[in-house]
Amino acid sequence: MNSLFVIVNFGSLILLSFLSLANPVKANQIASRLLGVFFLIWACFSADEITLLLYNMELDQKWHLLLRSIQYFTPILFYLIVVFYSNPSFKFKKAILKHLILPVCFISLLYYYGQSQSAMMNYVLIALMLGQAIFYISASYIRIRKHQKVVLLFSSQKEEVDLFWLERIIIAMLLLTVVVIFYNIVFSLERLNLSMNGVVLIVIFYIAFHSMRQKEIYPFKEANIEEIISISEEPVIDDTKKKIVSDEELNLLQTQLAQFMEKQKPYLDPDLNLIKLANNVEVSTHRLSYVINSGFNMNFFNFVNKYRVEEAKLLLLNSKKEHYSILGIANEAGFSSKSAFNTTFKKVTGQTPSDFKNRGSVL
């Protein structure tokens, strides 16, 4: 049974690698292709077991050393995947070279001591690999958390663009890394057992499901993406954003924006984002972001969804809409899903849409 899990895991990773590299949905292209390479390298971890199962022979020592060298880049590659998901305009700089220090040390030790039977050196190499994995998994988690804050600055819906699934993968990988450390200590470098391979298969399927349905996170031109990223990185002075407009102009823009939102109701568009709204009100994205943040003391996400909740309240109490389901009301108010509607509505009002409707009907 364990052999079957090994083969299924290997085959699943090869298939996922092909799908990610092909990127049929044409979204997040650099991150998706890196993910394809990541799956391929992950599949290499079981190459020796596959060779043994299919051909009843061990991998040649040179191939074994080559695969271990490639495998050491897995955590760095995963980190780069997170980087390009969160910022597709990311450009490589000389500072990236510092990330090659540990791989060079590892590969040098691997090839120098690789043919020795020293158990101590094996443990040193494993410690380097797992230590690096924990570092880059942690760095990826921090990057995702930062991205989730950036999303609130430009998107009116976050469920499909906040990379929450990647955050779960990061946590799962961190737990797996810790488990593997203890597994190798207890079982002295034995191959993964049935339970461990079963857990790995679950993680593979989870990644497959979410990576194949991930929408384009930044459906903008490159210049707009860089502008959004720059807004999120603007310095904070005295707990407020750096002044972009005078107080008088801020008050004027604030009034104009409020009137536009009430009359034109752009929030009914579930795909409304900062770029779209800025074009509609004919101001720059920087100015609009500043007005929302400083004038209304909100981020873009909360600003737009506040109007959607108010719209939903009217719809829930409208006798002509009594036949509408909660999902129907959510769609009418501009929400992209029922779960997003329920979560946001309860956060703003302190009660669920159903409770609000029932109490309103009683009154």
- Binned at pLDDT 50, 70 and 90, residue 152 comes out as very high
C-alpha–C-alpha distance, residues 297 and 49, integer Å: 57
More confident residue, 94 or 339: 339
Q: Is 353 exposed, middle or buried (0-12, 13-18, 19+ CB in 10 A)?
A: buried
Q: Is 26 exposed, middle or buried (0-12, 13-18, 19+ CB in 10 A)?
A: exposed
**Mean of pLDDT over the chain:** 85
CATH superfamily of 306-363: Homeodomain-like (1.10.10.60)
**Amino acid letter at 174?**
L
> What is the average per-residue pLDDT within 84-103?
84
In tens, the pLDDT along 25-66 reads 788 999 999 999 999 998 888 877 787 777 777 777 777 778
C-alpha torsion angle, residues 146, 149, 154, 159 (rounded to 10): 100
In tens, the pLDDT along 207-230 reads 888 888 888 999 888 888 888 888
Helix (H) or strand (E) holding 241: strand 240-241
pLDDT at 255: 95
Helix (H) or strand (E) holding 137: helix 119-154
Residue 234 DSSP one-character state: P
> What is the average per-residue pLDDT within 319-343?
91
Helix (H) or strand (E) holding 237: strand 236-237
pLDDT at 230: 85
More confident residue, 307 or 74: 307
Query: Is residue 204 scored above 90 in pLDDT?
Result: no
Query: Is residue 92 scored above 70 in pLDDT?
Result: yes
> What is the average per-residue pLDDT within 109-131?
71
pLDDT at 115: 56
Please, which residues bridge with residue 155 across strands? 273
151 touches 158 (CB < 8 A): yes
Helix (H, G, I), strand (E, B) or coil at 192: coil
pLDDT at 245: 82
Query: Is residue 363 scored above 50 in pLDDT?
Result: no
> What is the average per-residue pLDDT within 158-184?
80
Query: Is residue 157 scored above 70 in pLDDT?
Result: yes
Range ranked top by mean pLDDT from 3-12, 112-121, 229-238, 293-302: 293-302
Strands 236-237 and 240-241: antiparallel
Q: DSSP characters for 61-113? A: HHHHHHHHHHHTTHHHHHHHHHHHHH-TT----GGGGGGGHHHHHHHHHHHHH
Helix (H, G, I), strand (E, B) or coil at 299: coil
Count of beta carbons in the 10 Å neighbourhood of residue 255: 11
Dihedrals phi, psi of 273, to nearest 5 degrees: -135, 175
More confident residue, 196 or 13: 13
Least confident of 43-47, 244-248, 299-303, 357-361: 357-361
More confident residue, 240 or 156: 156
Query: Is residue 125 scored above 80 in pLDDT?
Result: no
- Comparing CA positions, the residue from 201, 50, 133, 141 lying closest to residue 125 is 133
pLDDT at 273: 95
In tens, the pLDDT along 225-273 reads 888 888 887 654 444 556 788 889 999 999 999 999 999 999 999 999 9
Query: Is residue 341 scored above 90 in pLDDT?
Result: yes
pLDDT at 208: 87
Report the Cα–Cα distance between both ends of the chain, in Å, rounded: 62
Range ranked top by mean pLDDT from 90-99, 290-299, 319-328: 290-299
> What is the average per-residue pLDDT within 65-92?
88
- Binned at pLDDT 50, 70 and 90, residue 150 comes out as very high
More confident residue, 359 or 255: 255
Percent of the chain whose predicted confidence (pLDDT) is above 70: 90
Range ranked top by mean pLDDT from 57-66, 171-180, 251-260, 322-331: 251-260
Could you tell me the pTM of the whole model? 0.85
